[in-house]
Each structure stands twice: as structure tokens, then as C-alpha cells.
Amino acid sequence: MDVLKKLFEQHFGFAAEDVTPLQGQLGGSGRAILRLRGKAASAIGIMYSVREENVAFLEFSRHFRRHGLPVPEIYGEDLSQGAYLEEDLGDITLFEYLSANRAGDSVAQPAVDAYRKVVAALPCFQVEAGRDVNYKVCYPRASFDRQSIAWDLNYFKYYFLRLAGVSFNEQALESDFGRLTKFLLAAPHDYFLYRDFQSRNVMLRGGEPWFVDYQGGRKGALQYDIASLLFDGKADLSPELRQRLLDYYLECLAQFVDIGRDIFMEHYYAYVYIRIMQALGAYGFRGFYERKPHFLQSVPYALKNLRWLAHNIRLPIALPALMDACERMIESKKLLEVVSSAGEPAKRPVDLTARIFSFSFHRQAPVDESGNGGGFVFDARSLPNPGREERFRQLNGKDAAVIEYLEAQPSVLEFLGHARALVDGAVSNFRGRGFRDLMISFGCTGGQHRSVYLAEQMAKHLGGIDGVEAVVRHIELEKMGR
């Protein structure tokens, strides 16, 4: 927080008198977002430990502003501490404006007009500014390529389908994923892909849209971003309004690039499908795996969109296993029961939260954002490394083969035993002194195998202690969409 105050004073010439966390804007990103105020000025401060994403956001912001696009001005930065200061765009998102201007499927004209402005701006990002953007700063991939698509599809398969208990044929689904990937990549994909172009990432100030959260941008196809906006889960736009906005987008796009409607539409709904699957993967990871039930509240909207697609759209390629899995999701009463009760999870009293991280020593260690300070950082680089063996390189510390390998190593079990003993002592002491948070980090070379395994085991251990909540995050796996 001190670094943000310093950046504020350097930019404005006077001190920030008030700092307010904006936790409602955190979403699933893990960023600390704060509003700083002093005299008649205000700014938004960001604290985030992933340097590559910070660099991408700052580079894209300056590039878009050079093109005259409405994105926040960057006031200052200190990447060594994962901090930057940007223009305050207010508190009204497009989603909130939509919610205040609708009654069921009926959306008032002011909200429709706001959407039209957003839609009209999209080709400016994709085509005009996309021509000379620096794709070298993109993270984790420079394009929405085969690897990016595979990450999204596996995210959906393992964090939603599997955790939701939806049955599927693994090999048949993989075969469909291969056909879908080939089809998606057949669309022209030399444009800027915003990646998360949805209603919560558009701010409205003075009735005009301003855009944020494009740090995941990369090169890709035009269809992805407009699909993200129009099939944005909780926005729940009617099919009729979606079609009107899509038609308007194509009119605006035609001013920038000569692409026929038929060519665009051939691949459009395939991109709608993968965007919905990516979103479901995120809901499953945050909701089922991290046990943050409010993320599951968006699942019924995604299922509603899938139901509409199943009844109204026929893709140009056959994907029988994927369509079967979607049908099973749509018809699953058990799944609907789980997500319908997500807003009221049963909770036991918690007096200490253990925040457990895995990370790579090639990157910055996780930063404690609880205000408590301290905690443990365990260096696992002395342990046998599965990453050196070809058979484990595409796996991680949550996979059975890696777990079996590590648990066969006496040094690993000894290391974990010592770590548990140290942490148990701190847990007992902290609870007795009324501390609410304890941070525990495990680092290794790549942040993929040993550190992930140790963090998972520590979370299981502490999660079994009454009154202790274990929250685990895998920094490197999150970057890879796993």
C-alpha cells in the first residue's frame, strides 16, 4: 500500500488522505484494487504479483491511448513491487447499468445505446489498434493458438465437467476437441483479441464506455470478443437483442476490414461455444475447486445459453461427444441443485484462514495482501524434480502420476513432515493470540510439480483442523489456465 501512496504523491504532488479497497472488483483475478483519494483527486491503485500481466496491461494501455481509445491513463508504476496507479473511471460498470435499466428480458433504450457504443468501439481495438500492437508482451501466449485453446478446453473438462459429476467419454471428447480446435483456427486470426470483453470490464463515465482488463489480450480471431460480450452469462441478454447487436457489430466492422458476413458467421458460433466452455471452467475452478460458491451462481446462465445453442444452432462440424456432454449438463438436476444452493453454503466457524500458495522461484514470491505480514516460504528445490522427466512435463503436482512419484521419495515425505510441524506450531500460536491469517508458500523451479504437490498436501492437512479454513492458489498453474 505504501508504494501506491508514493506513486500517488509523485503524480499529483500531494499525499493520498484515504485508501479504500475495492474488493468487489477483485473477481477471480487475485488483484488487490484500491481507490486512493487526496484533496480533489482520486486514482485506482493495483497490486499484483504477476509481472508479465502487469507489463502487458501497461503496454497495451499506452498503445490504446496513442490510438485515442478510451482506456485509463497510467499515472505511475513500480513493477519491482507489482504496483501501478491508473485513472479512476468511477464505479458504474456496463453490467450494473444494464441491471438498473431492465425488467426481465426487456432492456431500456439507454442500456441498449450503451451496448451499441461498446460494440462500435470493439473493431477499433481489434483492427485499428491491433495492426501495430506489441504482441511480444502478451502473456501467457502471443496468440489464441492451439495451445491456448487446449488450455481452455481442458480447463472446462477437468474443472467443470469432472468436478460437476458430468459423465463423458474421455477419448471421444478429446477427438471432438481436436476437430473443434482445427475448425476455430481456420478462421482468420490476425487481429487483437481482447480475451475478456464482457460487461464487467466496461466502465461507464458520463454515459461513455471506458475499457479495462485487457491484460490477457493476444492475437486471435474477430469472433471471440463479440461472442464474449453477447453471451456474457449474468448479463443474460435476450436472443433478439444479441442478434441486433451482432448485426450492428458487423456493420461497424465493415468500416475497418472487408470480411463477408457469411465468412464471419461460419465460425462465429463455434467461438460462442468455446467462450462459454472457458467461462464454465473458470466457474468450476473458483466454485467447485476453490470452494468459492458465489462463482457457481453464474452457471445457470451459461447453461441457459447452451440450451439456446442446442435448440437453435447447428455447427458446420460434427462434435457428438461434446454435444452429448452439453446435453448432460443442461439436463442434470443434480448440477442445478448444487448451483442453486451456491449462495447459501454451509459454513463452520472459522477463526484462522491459511492462505497457501505454490509458485516458481523464477518469478516473484506471492505477496501477503491480508495485512498480517510474515508467514512461511518453503524452498522445495532440493527435492527430486519430476519436471526433469519427459513423462511428467505436461503434468503437474495434482496429477496422480506425479503424486505417486513424489510420495515414493523419502526426502519429500520428510520435508512435508517438517513443514507440517512448523506450520502446526504457528497455527496453534496464532489462534491463541487472535491472529486471523497465516500465509504459507511453497516454491520450486517451475512452480508446476513439487510446490503444487506440497501446497495441496498442506491444504488437506490444515483443512481438516476445526476452525481453520485452507485456501490454496497455484500461481503458475493459473497462468497456464490449469
What's the average model confidence in pLDDT over 151-168? 93
Confidence at residue 347, expressed as pLDDT on a 0 to 100 scale: 46
Nearest CA to 441 out of 463, 421, 471, 466 is that of 471
Close Cβ partners of 90 (under 8 Å, ≥ 6 residues apart): 203, 204, 205
Intra-chain end-to-end CA distance of the chain, in Å: 30
For residue 300, is the peptide bond before it cis, meaning its omega torsion is within 30 degrees of 0?
no
CA distances in angstroms from 481 to 78, 279, 306, 389, listed in the order given: 26, 11, 22, 22
State yes or no: pLDDT of 53 exceeds 60.
yes
Confidence at residue 342, expressed as pLDDT on a 0 to 100 scale: 66
Cα 344 from Cα 78, distance rounded (Å): 40
Confidence at residue 340, expressed as pLDDT on a 0 to 100 scale: 74
* DSSP-assigned letters across all residues of 171-187: HHHHHHHHHHHHHHTTS
Nearest CA to 48 out of 93, 70, 13, 80 is that of 80
Cα 209 from Cα 418, distance rounded (Å): 54
Residue 477 CB neighbour total at 10 angstroms: 18
State yes or no: pLDDT of 25 exceeds 50.
no
Q: Which three cell numbers stand for residue 101?
A: 435499466
Cα 143 from Cα 121, distance rounded (Å): 21
State yes or no: pLDDT of 24 exceeds 60.
no
Confidence at residue 373, expressed as pLDDT on a 0 to 100 scale: 65
Confidence at residue 452, expressed as pLDDT on a 0 to 100 scale: 95
Higher pLDDT, 217 or 432: 217
- Mean pLDDT, the chain, integer: 91
CA distances in angstroms from 194 to 61, 88, 147, 220, listed in the order given: 12, 21, 17, 9
Range picked from 220-229, 287-296, 334-343, 469-478 for highest mean pLDDT: 220-229
Which fold is adopted by the domain 94-340?
Aminoglycoside 3'-phosphotransferase; Chain: A, domain 2 (3.90.1200)
State yes or no: pLDDT of 30 exceeds 60.
yes
* H-helix segments, 290-399: 299-312, 320-331, 333-340
Lowest-confidence segment of 20-29, 42-51, 328-337, 431-440 by average pLDDT: 20-29
State yes or no: pLDDT of 58 exceeds 60.
yes
Report pLDDT digits (tens) over 372-412.
767 899 999 999 999 999 988 889 999 888 998 898 888 99
- pTM (whole model) above 0.85: no
CA distances in angstroms from 363 to 50, 242, 260, 398, 420, listed in the order given: 8, 42, 45, 21, 25
Cα 450 from Cα 378, distance rounded (Å): 11
Report pLDDT digits (tens) over 170-209.
999 999 999 999 999 999 999 999 999 999 999 999 999 9
* H-helix segments, 254-319: 261-284, 299-312
State yes or no: pLDDT of 365 exceeds 50.
yes
Confidence at residue 28, expressed as pLDDT on a 0 to 100 scale: 53
132 with 212: CB under 8 angstroms? no
Cα 419 from Cα 410, distance rounded (Å): 14
Query: Given 3.30.420.10, 3.40.1360.10, 3.30.200.20, 3.10.20.30, which CATH number is that of 2-87?
Result: 3.30.200.20
Cα 366 from Cα 291, distance rounded (Å): 21
Which helix (H) or strand (E) segment is 318 a member of? none
Report pLDDT digits (tens) over 113-146.
999 999 999 999 999 999 999 999 999 999 999 9
What's the average model confidence in pLDDT over 439-464? 93
* H-helix segments, 341-382: none
Cα 95 from Cα 114, distance rounded (Å): 10
Nearest CA to 54 out of 24, 31, 71 is that of 31
Cα 379 from Cα 40, distance rounded (Å): 46
- The SS3 of residue 316 is coil
State yes or no: pLDDT of 345 exceeds 50.
no
Q: Which pLDDT band, with edges at 50, 70 and 90, does 223 fall under?
A: very high
What's the average model confidence in pLDDT over 244-258? 97
Q: Give the DSSP letter of residue 368.
A: P
Q: Which three cell numbers stand for residue 421?
A: 510441524
**Burial degree of 379 (CB within 10 A; 0-12, 13-18, 19+):** middle
The full set of domain ranges for the chain reads 2-87, 94-340, 352-479
